[in-house]
Every structure is written in structure tokens, then in C-alpha cells.
Amino acid sequence: MEYRKLGNTALELSTITYGAFAIGGTMWAGNDQKDSIEAIHASLDHGVTTLDTAPFYGFGLSEELIGQALKGKDRTKVQLLTKFGLVWDGSNQGKGEHFFDLPVDGKNVAIYKLASKANIIKEVEESLKRLDTDYIDLIQQHWPDASTPIDETMEAMESLIQQGKVRAAAVSNYSLDQLKEAGNTFVPAANQVAYSMLNRSIEKDLVPYTVENNIGIIVYSPMERGLLSGKYFQNEKLKADDHRNGYFGQFDLEKVKTFLESIRPIAEEKNASLAQLALRWTTLQKGITIVLAGARNAEQAISNAQAMSLDLSAEELSFIDGELRKL
């Protein structure tokens, strides 16, 4: 495993980071809690020291599972990354910026973006309890919230650092303009954004800015939620309540399939999977600090960690880029 410094912080994070969205179950057609904990343990055993979660993932379940998985582990050897700013419980309904309605157990649950100072303090205390820890290594605003001034959010995060409840603070899904505005009050350690072989929009303006200003980029959805693994072109079926049934619709699936077949020989030559190739490619792109990779079981977790062992030559990277330009 390789470890990288995050922006202007003292944090050293594993380049492949365990992404804990799916183990929350919500939007992912449920989960197996035993398998989830085994996936976290397998990640730790194979050099992954960084775990990224959020209260929204399973409405607290993802954080709770991480807290359980870390019992008896050396807390100083693990970096916990979590978030705030997506609220769903009755006390917050109607506050903040309405985001979307999520079907849960036959009824719609309204989800709001809320990044006020009071809510940040509340959510951090709840996360500390669920994670069973007394500090968070990196707190992140999950989504921009138009109902709260950015400077209020930044001041609150800076205060949490001063209190010792978090070691560093970052944002997620911020545009370049929002990131610049945040920097007028407090420079975030990183921006967590979507990025993959199929989604490279951040390369135009966000990457140059973050590189110039020593701000990290944390990547989510590097495998486009499993699409780049190729297995969904091989009779892999999704459950009816899996959000990916709709998510995959944004892509020209025939072109994606052709692309994956074109790069498959590179993976096979290295005795690797397409998923591992996609992960390793992502870690090698300019400005990318760490890459989140989800795993529902130990086998997937080990495979993700081992992606870092792939050695991609300049010629192979050039070939992949050439195939991507055909999409």
C-alpha cells in the first residue's frame, strides 16, 4: 500500500481508502453486517488504514459498523473520515435545502442538506458516539447547502479542529467557485468529488486549482459503483431496490462495454481484474490524493487493496487514454 499526505494537513492516508457507503445498506438493497465487518478487517489487514463513511449511509448504520469493527484495534493506526450535512430525522425536517426523497420501507423519507453551525456540532457528537471514538481524523461537508452561508460552515469546522474533536476538515461535491469562497474563511484540506474513467470533468479546472493550492482530492465512485468491473455485462443482476438500476442509465453502456473489452488484455496480462485496473488508473491521475473503494465482503476488500500492486507503464496509460477518447 502507498500512503499520501492530505493537502496541508499532517494526515497520511492510504491511497486506497475503504468507502463505507454500501455497507449502510440504504440505496444498495441491504447488506450483511457480518460480511461488512469482515470487509473492514480484511482492508486493515492488507494495508488500508483509512475508512470513509457518513451518517447518511444507512442512517447511522455504516458508522456503527465501523465502530464495532475497530473494537480492540489500535485507533492511532486508523484514520476515520466522516461527514455531516445530510439530515433526515424528524427534528430537522423542513430545515435546510431539500435534496431528494428516498424510498425506505414503502414510504418516502425527505433528505435535506443542512450545514449550519448548530447542525454540524450536533452531527459530529452523534458520529463520535456511533464510531465509538473521541476524535475524527477528517470531517467533511457532504454536500453544499444553499441555505447556509459557506463562511458559517467553515468557521464551525475550524472551531471543531481547535477543540480537538477533529484533526482536519474538508468539503465534498464543491464546485471550483464554492471552493474558492470557502478559502476566504478556512482552506479545506480536500474536496471529495466523483471521478472515474467515465467522469473526468474535474480535470479541466478543479484539479489545476487544488494542485496549485495544496488541496487534496478524495475520489468517490472510481468504478462507477461497479460498472467498470465489467460484471454487469456478464449476466450480473441488480436487486429491484438497488439505486444503480437508474444510475447506470446515464452511460452509453454499449460504448462502456467496448471500452472495457479494449483494456481487458492489460488487466489479464497482469493477472488483475478490470476493477483493479480502474482503481489503479485512478490513483495515478494528476492531483488525485486518495481513492475510495467500497467492499461488501472480505474478498472484495482484499482485491481493492491489491490494486496498488499493479504497475502501469506510460505506454499502457497512453493506450487507456486513447481508448477513453473514443467514448
Q: Which one-letter DSSP state was computed for residue 310?
A: -
Query: Angle 274-283/298-306 helices, nearest 10 degrees?
Result: 50
Which three cell numbers mark 309?
Answer: 500492486
Burial 204-225 (b: 16+ CB within 10 A, else e): eebbebbeeeebbbbbbbbbbb
Dihedral (CA of 281, 324, 195, 226) sign: negative
> In 2-160, which ranges are E strands?
3-5, 12-14, 16-19, 50-52, 79-84, 86-87, 97-104, 107-113, 136-141
Q: Which one-letter DSSP state was computed for residue 7?
A: T
Q: How many residues appear in the chain?
A: 327
Burial 67-101 (b: 16+ CB within 10 A, else e): bebbeeeeeeebbbbbbbbbbbeeebeebbeebee
> In 166-285, which ranges are E strands?
166-172, 190-194, 216-220
Q: How far apart are CA 137 and CA 164, in angstroms?
A: 10
Q: How far apart are CA 273 and CA 226, in angstroms?
A: 12
Catalytic site residue 247?
no
Active-site option among 3, 18, 57, 112? 57
Backbone φ and ψ for 136, nearest 5 degrees, come out as -115, 135
Q: Which amino acid is at 168?
A: A
Residues assigned a catalytic role? 57
